[in-house]
Amino acid sequence: MPTSSHDVNGITLSVTLEGPDEGPPVLLLHGFPDSARLWRHQVPALAGAGYRVIAPDLRGYGESSRPTEVGAYRMRTLIGDVTGLLDDLGVERAALVSHDWGAGLAWATAMFAPDRVSSLTALSVGHPSTRAHAGWRQAELSWYMLWFLLPGVAESVLPQDDWSFLRRWGWRDPSDGTDAHRQIDDLARPGALTAALNWYRANIDPKTFGMTPTDTLPHVTCPTMGVWSSADPFLTEEQMSESSRFVDGPWRYERVDGVDHWLPVRAPGVITELLLDFLPAPA
């Protein structure tokens, strides 16, 4: 996928742009430990359907800037990356399509910059208020987040034995190792693993992890679709399905059975069909 560089919010983002400039803008936000390549199946399909597709390597990932300070990855700054990129491209409002940490960023953008978001599609990760309400089962599945918060520990363990732990834990079905290899090639570059982990370190407080309800967060008012997969080893269904409690706009929930966490590449046709059905059709 061809990319271009865009200087926004004090960093440089590598961005894939496809589709007609006059098409409805769709901004694709990947998660950990990924890049815009996660969306390689959806980008041409959406562009071919007439959408203006914008798929950045987010801060710390892919070919985008990797600041060294943990504070450079706080959610407020990440939202600034989204709005800054839209400003740079002359886009007033975009449909956000997101996965994993990208979904966390998309929810936050829809909450705190609602005038920039026409709709929200969140894959795997629900509204942040639902995680505290999802109970100890979700906290148990999220054990790795606490481990990621310890400076230097994950950086020491994950690369061992040719990244074998990440391959087994993150990609339990070894039938297609393409994306595991792609992620590891990215993370193996100098400073890349720490940059990716800084998303956790800047935005998760270990003292209140999984314990404190966050009902004071704003509700989302735009049309929203949540998609969860039944074989996801990291996230419960409740943290997605219960997101409806925090969406004041139209809400749609879709469950994809038999698919693990990596929905855009494990079920590309299903995700593309859901998006084409959910997003307003180009004029």
Measure Cα distances from 55 to 2, 39, 95, 193 in Å.
Answer: 11, 8, 12, 21
Contacting residues for 175 by C-beta, under 8 A, at least 6 apart: none
Number of Cα atoms under 13 Å in the Cβ half of residue 156? 6
Q: Which of 6, 30, 99, 261 is catalytic?
A: 261
Q: Identify whether 261 is a catalytic site residue.
A: yes
3 state DSSP class of 4: strand
Residues sharing a CB contact under 8 Å with residue 77, sequence separation 6 or more, in sequence order: 9, 59, 71
Residues in the chain: 283
Q: Give me 17's structure tokens.
A: 């742009």
**Can 133 be counted among the known catalytic residues?**
no
Q: Which of 253, 213, 3 is closest to 120 using CA atoms?
A: 253
The rounded distance, in Å, linking the Cα atoms of 87 and 249 is: 25
In this structure, what token pair is assigned to residue 248? Answer: 């004041």
User: Which residues lie across from 256 on neighbouring strands?
Assistant: 229
Beta pairing partners, 225: 121, 252
Beta-ladder partners of 5: 14
Considering 34, 100, 232, 260, which one is annotated as catalytic? 100
Output phi, psi for 55, to 5 deg: -130, 95
**Contact (Cβ atoms closer than 8 angstroms) between residue 97 and residue 27:** yes
Q: Would you state the torsion angle of the CA atoms of residues 260, 62, 125, 144, taken in this order, to the nearest 10 degrees? A: 80
H-helix or E-strand containing 273?
A: helix 268-278
Would you please indicate which residues are annotated as catalytic (active-site) residues? 100, 261
